[in-house]
Structure 1
Amino acid sequence: MSEEPLSIAVTGAGGRMGREVIEAAADREGVAVAVAVNRTATDPVAGVAVDDADDLDGLLASEEPDVLVDFTGPDSAVAYAEACADAGVPLVTGTTGFAESQINDLRAASETVPVLKASNFARGVAALRRAVREAAAALPGYDVELTETHHNAKRDAPSGTAKSILDDVEDVRDDLDERVHGREGDAPREAGEIGVHARRAGDVTGEHEVLLAGNRETLELTHRAGDRGVFAEGALDAAAWLAGQDLGWYGFGDVLDGGEARDDDE
C-alpha cells in the first residue's frame, strides 16, 4: 500500500515563489497541493485552483493540509502563522523583511505548531554560510564586505540571506560590529565596519558575495542561484521534514544533516 502524499497549502500562490512552489510540487512524486490562496484573483497554477486568501481559515479546517508553505510579505506571513496555529498546521516560511515584533509573533505561533523560518532554502547557501563563518574566524583582522544582487522587484534590502551572513560574521568576529550600507563622498573604511551593498537589476534570481581582504591577499566566497526552482525545491524538502516534527522553532539547517544554519536564520 502506497503512503499518502504530503498535503501542502501554499500562500501567495500568484507570486513569484508561490508559483514556483506549486509547480515544483506538481513535478514531485508524493506531494499534493491541497490549498492555494492569494490576496488577489489568480488563475490556476499548474492545474491547481487558487482561492481567496480571506478564506484560508476555512480551507485549513476543511482540507487539513500537513503543512503550509509561505512566501509572501511580513504582515501576511504573520497572519498566516496565526491561522496555522489556530488550525494546528505546521508552517514553513521563506518570507523576509520582518520587524523584531513580527519575529516574536512567529515565535508565538511556534509554541502551538512547528514553525520553520529560513531566509534561503538553497543548500549551497547553507554551505556558503558555513564557509563564511570558518573563513571569517580564520582570518582575524581582515576587512569584510558583502554584496548581494537581486531582481529589480525585490522589496527588502539588504536581503534576508545577506542579513543572515552578516550575523554569521559578527558571531565569530567581535571586532566587526557596524554595518555600513554603501559609501559616498569622503568615506575611508573605519575600524569595526562591515560593508554592505545591495544591488537591484533585471531578473537576477539571487547572488551573494563575501569578500575578505588583508595581509596582501583576498578571498571571495560567492553563491549564485540559477533560478527560483532551487528555493522551491528546498522549501518542499523543509515542508516534508517539518510535517513530522514536534512544535517548536526551526531553521533550514535543521533539515540538512549536520547543517549549522542559525535557527532564527534572518
Structure 2
Amino acid sequence: MIRLGIFGGSGRVGKLIIQEIGSYSGVELGAVFVRKQLDFSLPEGSFVTNDFTELLRSCDVLIDFSTKEATNSLLHALESASASIPCVIGTTGLSKEEFALMESYAKRAAVLYASNMSLGVAILRQVVEQVAAKLPSADIEISEIHHRYKKDAPSGTALSLAESCAKGREEPLEKILVTDRIKQGERKPGELSIVSLRGGDVAGRHCVGFYLDGEYLELTHNATNRLTFAKGAIECAIWLAGKAPRIYSIDEMFA
C-alpha cells in the first residue's frame, strides 16, 4: 500500500486529489499539509498537519500542488530533512531558485516535475516536437486560455509545449520565444509566439498551430475538468514510488 502525502490540500486541485485517492487500489491518504483547517472531512486513518516532519513521516510519496511561495518553503524543508521521500510537483510559475532546490533534493530522492499533470498534454508535447521538426518553415503560434484566477502567464504548459517545439527545431527557446506581439511587431522568421487569455472558469485549453502558406495544422488539448490533473498527479505518484533518485518528467511514463 502506497501512502500519499498532500502538500497544498486546500487548493482547487489539492481537494480533488484527496477526494480521488479512494478510487485507486493500492493507494491511501496519509497526511495533508495545510496552514488552515480544511472545509471537508478526510478518509479514516488520515489527518491534517502543519508540521513538515510529521507530514514526511506519514507518507511514502508526496504530492505538491500549491503556490510558488509554498513550493519554495517545501523544497527548503525537504533539503534540510533527513527523510528522502519521492515527490511529485505540479506547481507552475517556479523560478530558477526552485528548480535548483529541486535538482539538489533529487540527488537523494526521486522527483517528478510537470507543469501539467494531464496525460494528454504529455502526449501532445511529444507530437508537437515531431511536427516542429518535420515542418521547419511553418510559423508556430501557441495560444492558451485559463480561468480568471490563474496567476502566471504564459502558463507552464504553454512554455513546456514551446520548449518541445524549440527542441524539434534544435533552437534555444529563449532565442526564438515571443510573448508580447505588440512590442515585437511584425513576425520574424523562426519566431515562436505564445498568447495568453484569462477568463471564466476554463480549466485549460492549449492550441499549438503550425502555419504555412495555403494551409495550417492546429493541435489542441482541452481540459474540461480539473479532475484530469488530480488523476494525473495520483498516477504519477504511483509510478514514481520506488524510483531511483533523479528528476523525472511525465513523458517517461510513456517510454
Q: TM-score by structure 2 length?
A: 0.91
Answer whether contact 2:61 2:237 (CA < 8 A) is retained: yes
Residue in structure 1 matched with residue 217 of structure 2 by the alignment: 219
Residue in structure 1 matched with residue 48 of structure 2 by the alignment: 51
> Counterparts of 1:46 and 1:217 in 2: how far apart (Å)?
53
Q: Read off the aligned partner of 1:209 and give its amino acid letter.
A: C
Q: Read off the aligned partner of 1:19 and give its amino acid letter.
A: K
* CA displacement 1:83-114 (0-9 Å, x = unmatched): 34522211101111111121001110101211
> Counterparts of 1:239 and 1:186 in 2: how far apart (Å)?
41
* CA displacement 1:94-152 (0-9 Å, x = unmatched): 11111112100111010121111111121111111111111111111111100011111
* CA displacement 1:169-205 (0-9 Å, x = unmatched): 1112246732222433892212232121011111101
Correspondence 1:13 to 2:37: no
The percent identity for this pair of structures is 34
Residue in structure 1 matched with residue 234 of structure 2 by the alignment: 236
Choose which of 74, 81, 105 in structure 1 pairs with 2:75.
81
Pick closer, same or farther for the CA change 1:21–1:247 going to 2, 3 Å.
same
Choose which of 156, 161, 164 in structure 1 pairs with 2:157.
161
Correspondence 1:38 to 2:34: yes
> Counterparts of 1:7 and 1:124 in 2: how far apart (Å)?
26
Matched positions, count: 250
Residue in structure 1 matched with residue 122 of structure 2 by the alignment: 126
> Counterparts of 2:143 and 2:184 in 1: how far apart (Å)?
20
Alignment of 1:40-119 (within 5 A): 40-47=36-43, 51-53=48-50, 55-61=51-57, 63=58, 65-85=59-79, 86=81, 87-119=83-115
Instruction: Please provide the CA RMSD for this pair.
Output: 1.9
> Counterparts of 1:96 and 1:185 in 2: how far apart (Å)?
25
Alignment of 1:174-185 (within 5 A): 174=170, 177-184=175-182
Secondary structure of 2:152's counterpart equals coil
> Counterparts of 2:17 and 2:211 in 1: how far apart (Å)?
38
Residue in structure 2 matched with residue 203 of structure 1 by the alignment: 201
Answer whether contact 1:213 1:219 (CA < 8 A) is retained: yes
Q: Read off the aligned partner of 1:142 and give its amino acid letter.
A: A
Correspondence 1:245 to 2:243: yes
Answer whether contact 2:49 2:55 (CA < 8 A) is retained: no
> Counterparts of 2:233 and 2:88 in 1: how far apart (Å)?
7
Gaps of 5+ in 2: none
> Counterparts of 1:135 and 1:108 in 2: how far apart (Å)?
34
Residue in structure 2 matched with residue 194 of structure 1 by the alignment: 192
Answer whether contact 1:84 1:90 (CA < 8 A) is retained: no
Answer whether contact 1:26 1:46 (CA < 8 A) is retained: no
Q: Read off the aligned partner of 1:31 and give its amino acid letter.
A: V
> Counterparts of 2:147 and 2:41 in 1: how far apart (Å)?
22
Secondary structure of 2:150's counterpart equals coil
Q: Read off the aligned partner of 2:48 and give its amino acid letter.
A: D
Residue in structure 2 matched with residue 151 of structure 1 by the alignment: 147
Gaps of 5+ in 1: 259-266
Residue in structure 2 matched with residue 261 of structure 1 by the alignment: none
Q: Read off the aligned partner of 1:68 and give its amino acid letter.
A: L
> Counterparts of 2:17 and 2:243 in 1: how far apart (Å)?
21
